[in-house]
């Protein structure tokens, strides 16, 4: 009798032994297997986004803006919750009292929420005080305010200012980093703290809030007025995570839960989660500024500073929908811009963004494209060849001035001698310790010299736009009047694009209509020929919060749509995610497992290749780490998720060994979505 041939497992077919890192991750890092979180689920509205957007860009953008409706509904719900409103008003009052006593306000986050923290300081707080400090009639006001009020708010992110460019691996996964940064920035009892994490589980952010809580010892009631933990997942799903449970169970910490649901792109919390956090925290700050000023100014003076009325958090929550409506009213123009930028990249060209007041908002969206869509981050000046698809410039004479315009202050790095001994001593996981110490070498103050985003002669010489490239100017309402000024940087940039045969586009907020904006630029032939988007906005906005948020939501949807057109999204899943930390390794593993098993369960696959055992989480993770550790895969600059999905399915289809080189070839020739649709046609109709 003939012996039945043994069916080989996927890893046996591919001759893969799980690496020590993979075995460790599957067994010991279960607290970072986060696919159960609400923010990691697929949103039903954008389920087939990639197919929709390739057929109709505007329709795809409307789906993305449609998910912002979840933010609208959450804010309207909060407006009806008196206990939550009182909690936010107390936070605002705590800011006022802390400032009056000479204390600081500290915003801390990681990744997108870290950039949010920088935004609070550098786009809202510092510009407001600087604007009015320049005007002679307000000089007497500052004698009544806390000294150096501009410096009283500190926005800090895991890894410091260098992490604005790209994540510093290993830091996010360590509570000790957050603790050290709290101490490094000299946060003391009496300061008001906002620690923000979209997922509610980020280790460094949890370390920061717990370190701050320890400074209050047993005074829980007073501590609650000063310590705030802001997050976007339901408590019940976070309580299974030990680190999150520590915070949720701590009576000294005020919890601000802003859960809206799944994100427009699965796990992409830079979108709705960060939008609602920015709006809520911005309103808390705006109300605090009003209260601080109201004790020194009359109503007419307050109106001159942009406060016609006392900010009403309830009212503002209910009015958020008009920001989304403004964006939807421009969906056709945004779609045209999206198509233009996508075509630019499809033709092998690049984009240069120019911004002034909106610089940080533009910079953040650009930086966040890298981990979300597996793109090269902004290029350092030492890189002779451009790798990044985009660059961001601002009006500045050199790199140091550009950093100052971005941050509103000098660059802050992490002092190696302060952090290194503690990391070496207290991080016991050998891999995390090694990675964190390597990242620390890239976090110092000297890093500012590696990046130059000045619109300067040096940068024009180094990385000027070329024929077929795209120049994109982004600004706020107050800057529209500068567009026709011959000596303004806008005109200089438009001339440069014209001379270099690069396309030009404009994105501005503030005018009541597209026609009114066109009349504003009618006098400039260079600008008149440009593609333009002007999102209408009117009303009080003393700190610029609402205008900046409109731009944030626009750029988030636009850049996501561009990447979907380039094949970097399948459905609404982040198949090009860069697995650069423990959380993202978990997301990447789950995506590999999900897409492979979805294909294996398709009727068409089963008819052709028969039933096959579903891929396990451990197998998917072993495959991912094998890809991460492969020089061939690294050299290809392709997404590890894409390559792993294709290699797994090809091996299971052919029932034999398939190389990484073969998977790379298939991805380059077909793209992941087209490949999956061959074996799972229902993807086209979902």
Euclidean distance between CA atoms 409 and 394, whole angstroms: 15
pLDDT score recorded for residue 1: 42
- If one compares 485 and 400, the residue with the highest pLDDT of the two is 400
The DSSP H or E segment spanning 109 is: strand 105-109
Q: Please name which of 437, 438, 417 lies closest in space to residue 427, comparing C-alpha atoms.
A: 437
pLDDT of residue 686: 52
Using one digit for the tens of pLDDT, what is the confidence trace for 577-620?
999 999 999 999 999 999 999 999 999 999 999 999 999 999 99
Q: In what order do the strands lie in the sheet with 105-109?
A: 153-157, 105-109, 192-197, 227-231, 254-257
- Contact at 8 Å (CB) between 224 and 253? yes
Is pLDDT of 685 > 80? no
Shortest CA distance to 583 belongs to which of 267, 369, 205, 208? 267
Q: Determine whether 112 is exposed, middle or buried from the number of CB atoms within 10 Å of its CB (0-12, 13-18, 19+).
A: buried
Are 260 and 68 a contacting pair, CB within 8 Å? no
> How far, in Å, CA of 165 to CA of 169, rounded?
12
Report the distance separating Cα 115 and Cα 123, nearest Å.
11
**Span 325-362, pLDDT tens digits:** 999 999 999 999 999 999 999 999 999 999 999 999 99
Q: Answer for the pair 201, 34: CB distance below 8 angstroms, yes or no.
A: yes
| 6 — pLDDT class (breaks 50, 70, 90) | low
d(CA 135, CA 125): 17
Phi (first) and psi of residue 180, to 5 degrees: -65, -40
What is the arithmetic mean of pLDDT over 476-480?
94
pLDDT-wise least confident of 8-22, 135-149, 334-348, 485-499: 135-149
Q: Give DSSP secondary structure letters for 505-573.
A: EEEEE--S-HHHHHHHTTT-HHHHTSEEEEE---S--TTSHHHHHHHHHHHHHHHHHHHHHTT--BTTB
Q: Which residues pair with 189 in a beta bridge?
A: 191
Lowest mean pLDDT among 214-218, 365-369, 652-656: 214-218
Integer angstrom CA distances of residue 421 from 180, 205, 208, 567: 11, 21, 18, 44
In order of their start, the domains of the chain are: 10-42+573-684 (no CATH), 54-62+329-398+452-565 (3.40.50.10490), 81-319 (3.40.50.10490)
Q: Is the pLDDT of residue 517 over 90?
A: no
Phi/psi zone of residue 567: left (φ > 0), alpha (ψ -120 to 50 degrees), beta? left
Whether 518 has a pLDDT exceeding 70, the answer reads: yes
Residue 632: the pLDDT is 97
Residue 623 belongs to what H/E stretch? helix 617-628
Per-residue pLDDT at 4 exceeds 50: no
Average pLDDT on 218-247 reads: 96
| Predicted local confidence at residue 515, as pLDDT | 78
The chain-wide mean pLDDT, for the chain, equals: 95
Per the CB < 8 A criterion, the answer to whether 565 and 342 are in contact is yes
Q: Per DSSP, what are the bridge partners of residue 609?
A: none
| pLDDT score recorded for residue 133 | 86
Mean local confidence (pLDDT), 186-213? 98
- Strand locations in 422-502, DSSP E? 470-475
pLDDT of residue 139: 79
Burial class (CB in 10 A: 0-12, 13-18, 19+), 656: exposed
**Residues paired with 352 in a beta bridge:** 391, 471
DSSP β-bridge partners for residue 180: none
CB 413 within 8 Å of CB 162: yes
Q: Answer whether 115's CB lies under 8 Å from 160's CB.
A: no
- Determine contact, residues 465/471, Cβ cutoff 8 Å: yes
Cα–Cα distance list, 238 to 242, 248, 277 (Å): 8, 9, 18
Predicted model pTM:
0.96
H-assigned helices in 427-481: 430-440, 457-463
pLDDT class of 213 with cuts at 50, 70, 90: very high
Residues in the chain: 686
Those residues whose C-beta lies under 8 Å from the C-beta of residue 266, and which sit 6 or more positions away, are 40, 41, 42, 43, 572, 573, 574
pLDDT at 357: 98
């Amino acid at each position: 009798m003939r012996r039945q041939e043994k069916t080989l497992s996927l890893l046996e077919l591919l001759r893969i032994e799980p690496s020590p890192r993979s075995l460790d991750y599957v067994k010991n890092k279960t607290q970072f297997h986060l696919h159960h979180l609400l923010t990691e689920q697929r949103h039903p509205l954008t389920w087939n986004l990639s197919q929709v957007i390739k057929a109709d860009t505007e329709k795809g953008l409307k789906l993305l803006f449609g998910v912002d409706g979840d933010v609208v509904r959450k804010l309207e719900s909060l407006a009806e919750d008196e206990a939550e409103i009182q909690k936010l008003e107390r936070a605002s009052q705590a800011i006022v009292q802390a400032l009056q006593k000479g204390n600081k306000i500290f915003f801390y986050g990681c990744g997108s929420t870290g950039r949010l923290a920088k935004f609070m300081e550098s786009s809202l707080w510092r510009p407001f005080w600087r604007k009015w400090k320049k005007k002679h009639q307000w000089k007497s006001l500052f004698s009544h305010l806390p000294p150096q009020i501009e410096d009283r708010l500190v926005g800090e992110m895991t890894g410091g200012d260098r992490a604005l460019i790209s994540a510093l691996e290993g830091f996010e996964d360590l509570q000790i980093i957050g603790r050290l940064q709290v101490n490094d920035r000299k946060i003391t009892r009496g300061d008001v703290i906002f620690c923000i994490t979209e997922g509610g589980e980020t280790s460094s952010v949890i370390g920061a809030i717990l370190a701050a809580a320890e400074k209050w010892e047993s005074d829980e009631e007073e501590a609650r007025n000063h310590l705030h933990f802001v997050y976007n997942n339901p408590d019940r799903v976070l309580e299974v995570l030990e680190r999150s449970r520590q915070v949720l169970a701590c009576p000294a910490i005020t919890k601000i839960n802003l859960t809206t649901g799944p994100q427009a792109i699965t796990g992409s919390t830079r979108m709705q989660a960060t939008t609602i956090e920015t709006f809520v925290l911005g309103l808390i700050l705006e109300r605090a500024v009003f209260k601080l000023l109201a004790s020194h100014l009359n109503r007419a003076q307050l109106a001159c500073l942009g406060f016609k009325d006392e900010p009403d958090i309830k009212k503002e929550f209910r009015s958020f929908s008009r920001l989304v409506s403004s964006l939807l009213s421009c969906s056709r123009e945004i779609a045209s811009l999206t198509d233009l930028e996508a075509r630019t990249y499809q033709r092998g060209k690049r984009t240069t963004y120019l911004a002034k007041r909106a610089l940080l908002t533009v910079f953040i969206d650009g930086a966040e494209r890298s981990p979300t869509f597996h793109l090269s981050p902004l290029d350092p000046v030492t890189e002779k060849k451009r790798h990044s698809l985009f660059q961001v410039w601002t009006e500045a004479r050199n790199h140091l001035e550009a950093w100052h315009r971005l941050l509103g202050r000098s660059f802050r790095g992490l002092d190696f001698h302060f952090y290194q001994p503690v990391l070496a001593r207290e991080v016991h996981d050998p891999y995390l310790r090694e990675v964190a110490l390597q990242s620390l070498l890239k976090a110092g103050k000297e890093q500012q010299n590696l990046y130059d985003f000045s619109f300067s002669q040096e940068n024009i010489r180094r990385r000027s736009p070329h024929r077929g490239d795209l120049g994109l100017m982004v600004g706020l309402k107050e800057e529209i009047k500068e567009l026709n000024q011959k000596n303004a940087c806008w005109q200089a940039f438009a001339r440069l694009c014209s001379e270099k045969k690069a396309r030009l586009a404009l994105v501005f907020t503030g005018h009541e209509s597209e026609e009114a904006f066109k009349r504003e630029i009618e006098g400039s032939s260079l600008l008149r020929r440009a593609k333009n988007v002007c999102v209408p906005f009117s009303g009080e906005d003393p700190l610029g919060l609402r205008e900046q948020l409109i731009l944030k939501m626009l750029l988030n949807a636009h850049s996501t749509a561009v990447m979907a057109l380039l094949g970097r999204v399948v459905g609404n899943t982040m198949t090009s995610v860069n697995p650069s930390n423990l959380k993202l390794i978990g997301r990447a593993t789950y995506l590999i497992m999900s897409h492979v098993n979805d294909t294996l369960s398709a009727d068409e696959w089963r008819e052709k290749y028969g039933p096959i055992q579903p891929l396990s989480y451990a197998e998917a993770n072993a495959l991912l780490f094998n890809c991460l550790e492969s020089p061939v895969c690294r050299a290809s600059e392709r997404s590890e998720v894409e390559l792993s999905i294709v290699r797994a399915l090809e091996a299971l289809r052919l029932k034999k060994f398939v190389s990484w080189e073969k998977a790379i070839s298939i991805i380059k020739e077909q793209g992941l979505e087209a490949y999956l649709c061959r074996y799972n046609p229902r993807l086209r109709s979902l």
